[in-house]
Structure 1
């Protein structure tokens, strides 16, 4: 079977659509700004999460040191409180618990 040469011309005249063919109502500049803002927001979320996890690790480390090396009961209790606070902060940073502002 021989293909019709006119059908090939019709297909080549259509613009290539790599987005599934949906018109989202945004021109190229607006779409660039939306994607740029989304990527920037995602990168800031990653940095913020890493900072919170580092702070939580520091609290757990200091609390563990205080609990293990503490001479008095108050020192051990304060160390335990630091460990709990660090664990809660890490859980909130990883979104295992709701944000602290939603607790109250």
Structure 2
């Protein structure tokens, strides 16, 4: 039975494979600094673009919502009221679907 099969909670002796234990007791991932920088850079860039996209969609939805409400309230005919209501519903759909991706209802409770 080897050290790896002993079933103990202690980390096995890794010196024979050339890996040195990390400070947390694990084994280093083997990624150099340039690769790590590129991964972190891409992740941060994706996060920033996601935030900007979400804010833009919320802004567009809010514009549609307010335009639809003002058009529906100021309507002089049934057709104008229908157009205002349609614009309001489009804005509501954009706003709600954007928020649903950001804040699922299950996490609100």
Higher helix share: 1
Runs of 4+ in 1 over 3 A off after TM superposition: 14-17, 19-22
Query: TM-score of the superposition, structure 1-length normalised?
Result: 0.70
Unaligned runs of 5+ in 2: 1-19, 102-109
Structure 2 residue 70 is the aligned partner of structure 1 residue 65 = yes
- Tell me if the contact between 2:21 and 2:28 (Cα under 8 Å) persists in the aligned partners: no
Task: State the match for 2:80 in structure 1.
Answer: 75
Structure 2 residue 95 is the aligned partner of structure 1 residue 90 = yes
Per-residue deviation, 1:21: 3.4
Alpha-carbon RMSD across the aligned residues, in angstroms, is: 2.0
State the alpha-carbon separation in 1 of the partners of residues 69 and 27 from structure 2: 56
Find the residue that maps to 1:94 and give its secondary structure. helix
Query: TM-score of the superposition, structure 2-length normalised?
Result: 0.67
The 1:79–1:51 alpha-carbon spacing in structure 2 relative to 1, beyond 3 Å, is: same
Aligned pairs, how many?
82
Unaligned runs of 5+ in 1: 1-13, 97-104
Per-residue deviation, 1:59: 0.2
Render the CA deviation track for 1:12-55: whole Å, top value 9, x for unaligned: xx8863x7634223111101110110011000000000001000
Q: Equivalences for 1:13-92 in 2 at 5 Å?
A: 17=23, 21-92=26-97
State the alpha-carbon separation in 1 of the partners of residues 22 and 45 from structure 2: 29
Find the residue that maps to 2:28 and give its secondary structure. coil
Task: State the match for 1:4 in structure 2.
Answer: none
